A and B are shown apart, each in its own frame.
Chain A
Amino acid sequence: MEALPSAPSPLIALVGNPNCGKTALFNILTGSRQKVANYAGVTVERKEGSLLTPSGLRVRILDLPGAYSLDPLTPDEQVTADVLLGRRTGETQPDFVVCVTDATNLRQNLRLVLSLKRLGLPMVVALNMSDIARRKGIVIDAERLAAELGVPVVETVGVKATGVRALIKVLDGLAIPGRTRQAAVWRTPSASDIEYDQSEVRRILGLVGGDRLDGVTISDRVDAVVLHPVFGPLILAGILFLVFQAVFAWAQVPMDAIRLGVAAFGHWLGAALPESLLKGLLINGVLAGVGSVLVFLPQIIILFFFILMLEDSGYLPRAAFLLDRVMGSVGLSGRAFIPLLSSFACAIPGIMATRTIQNPRDRLATIMIAPLMTCSARLPVYALIIGAFIPQRTLWGGLELQGVVLFGLYIVGVASAMAVAFVLKRSGRGTGFQALMLELPAYHWPNLRSLGIGLWQRVEIFMSRVGTIILALMVILWALSSFPAPPPGAAGPPIQYSIAGHLGAWLAVLFAPIGFNWQISIALVPGLAAREVAVGALGTVYALSATGDDVSGALTPLIAHSWSLPTAFSLLAWYVFAPQCLSTLATVKRETNSWRYPIIMAAYLFALAYTGSWITYRVAVALLS
């Protein structure tokens, strides 16, 4: 969000350690739609919202990235420190700081409070998660703490609307016309500062309480199993496997409903409209194209449901812990796991999440392999081909064959990512140690409200893509596939005579060695804009090339009849490596601040995809003949 023009409304910055519930607090205060999670470093973007206090004061609230200290080690912390010190260009220095602390982990959080105090900006300390602290029997004397720190202290509960009343009251008192901004003074903390802070923390904790070091917490008991050397990896594999089974099994009913609904609507429209060009556009272009993408909405919702649950509960950093050795063996940090897992949903948030990786070379390697994680946009393509070519059969133990194949495709993606990372590690110059130092926060029950917000965001993003990019491309593709019209008395399907038909015929020469026909070749082009569009494009191409009137017929039986098995496998292989969608490449450009890496990325992915498909096609042909 852009900073508002120099309005008189005060700018308030939320600052805090990672995992202190700052983002949830921000959501409650501003009603902003933002993702809440509790692994280190979810907040990588600038988030600003505004709040109207009861007395009518409008304040702007800036959610700064989580930081352990003001002496920055990550790009995230750099942003936080720069904004607070007024060193960040284009960003006004905040007028007031809300230092958010985790009341259950004050010993760690107070150090940041002390260094913020040294900065000299006016501030209030929010004892967040005070409800959890109370339940744990941690009693903090807030008044005493305020007296010791010399700043106001309020208790907050970031997940409840009533939990921020006290904080809003403090912010309400900020109407200071003509306030004078205090200059923030910064000096790098010396060893004696650190020592002093530590003794201060101990002294204050001794006075106000809240330093109960519980012996064995519930999280510890959970971790005893979840982080167990044998059970831990088994549980992780089980969870991942469950997700992929669910994506297929649970989504079946709503998917069928959407498919039937679109088909029924097409029939109704076909009967209601007079024969015209517009009818062709609506039914063959818009409905056939958009409908075949829309059908994958249930699967995307289910996938994100699981990812958000794992994030919110605190399991993700544990998974990073379990996989650290594997990641380390190919030269990645365990921290890379979180961006990579996000990339299963979409490479864009994944690549943005790499900002929490300190080592620049580590970060670059993670960015480069992020697109090899099978993003949800590829799911429609996989689902279509698997649905058409893999029989619905139950294997032993109730496993669905289709689910197993899908899981296998994800594994191939991960394995090739590891291989690429290994090559990068070998080719790169040694950069010494890769740090992990990942906080394992206490487990939380996922917050249903933020889960709902997160899921709704995904639906909105997907639907707005269907409504904009995908719709526009479908219309363009329909036009390309319809004009020029076939000459009178032409024998073949009309699309063969159109611009798209010619383009496809030309591309088909390039893709013939890997078994793609011209219909697939055409569909790959709009697939560059967004991968799931390829399915819609196939829908459009096949709807138009059908000589009969069966335009609303499902795509699945159509391709099952017209493609050979090696072609289907080859296309699956292509999409494991599928060259980047343009928005991912744009994100890489933005994150690396250079055109070099997006170009390298596109080139290497294209080479991998072509090689992978070629091998797959040749092997399949040889085996099946």
Chain B
Amino acid sequence: MVSVTAVDAAAPAELGRRLAELGFLPGEAVRIVARGMMARAPIAVRIGTGTFALRLFEAACIRVCPEQPQPA
């Protein structure tokens, strides 16, 4: 389990915006739930309570870091 730090500033604007709309926002927890057969792509990513299929170049726009322990 990792959490999103940011959507890459170098990502195409539309792509970054859509990722943000789907919930890929700083601090949200993400994890990979499945990978495709060929070249291990695309990937299925859990964000919050939703799951999205992403191609690798899309996923590459998301910067992540190991998840911070949740404040109690």
Contacts and interface: CB of A to CB of B under 8 A. Distances in A.
A334 B25 CA distance: 24
Contacts of A194: 20, 25
Nearest to B29: A213
Contact of B42 (A73, A214, A436): A436
Contact of A436 (B38, B49, B55): B55
Contact of B33 (A198, A223, A230, A437): A223
Contacts of B2: none
A317 B29 CA distance: 23
A116 B42 CA distance: 32
A324 B38 CA distance: 10
Contacts of B69: none
Q: Is the interface of B mostly helix, strand, loop or mixed?
A: mixed
A111 B53 contact: no
Contacts of B65: none
B42 A104 contact: no
A324 B22 contact: no
B10 to A, nearest CB: 13
Contact of A334 (B21, B22, B34, B42): B42
Most buried by A among B17, B41, B53, B57: B53
A105 B34 contact: no
A232 B37 contact: yes
Nearest to A212: B49
B18 A68 contact: yes
B61 to A, nearest CB: 10
Given A325-B42, A334-B42, A433 B23 contact: no
A285 B34 CA distance: 57
Interface string A299-335: 0000000000000000001001110111010000010
Interface string A211-225: 001100001100110
B55 to A, nearest CB: 5
B55 A104 contact: no
B33 A439 contact: no
Interface in B1-31: 12, 14-15, 17-23, 25-27, 29
Interface residues of B, number: 36
A438 B53 contact: yes
A480 B48 CA distance: 65
B5 to A, nearest CB: 14
Contact of B17 (A73, A214, A230, A233): A73
B23 A321 contact: no
Contacts of B47: 108
Nearest to B34: A227
B58 A321 contact: no
Contact of A73 (B14, B49, B54): B14
Nearest to A328: B55
A229 interface: yes
A440 interface: yes
A432 B58 CA distance: 12
B72 interface: no
Nearest to A70: B21
B58 A437 contact: yes
A435 interface: yes
Given A111-B21, A325-B42, A438 B52 contact: yes
Nearest to A71: B17
A69 B21 contact: yes
A107 interface: yes
B66 interface: no
A439 B50 contact: yes
Contacts of B34: 223-224, 227-228, 321
Contact of A437 (B22, B27, B40): B22
A67 to B, nearest CB: 9
Nearest to B43: A321
A435 B55 contact: yes
A107 B48 contact: yes
Contacts of B27: 198
Given A105-B50, A223-B44, A324 B15 contact: no
B55 A213 contact: no
Given A68-B22, A322-B36, 7 more contacts: A198-B25, A213-B49, A228-B34, A324-B36, A324-B41, A325-B39, A436-B58
Interface of A: 68-69, 71, 73, 104-108, 111, 194-195, 198, 213-214, 219-220, 223-224, 227-230, 232-233, 317, 320-322, 324-326, 328, 334, 432-441
25 contacts: A71-B17, A73-B17, A73-B18, A105-B49, A108-B47, A111-B23, A213-B48, A223-B44, A224-B34, A227-B33, A321-B44, A324-B36, A324-B41, A325-B39, A334-B42, A433-B57, A435-B15, A435-B18, A435-B55, A437-B18, A437-B22, A437-B53, A437-B54, A439-B22, A439-B51
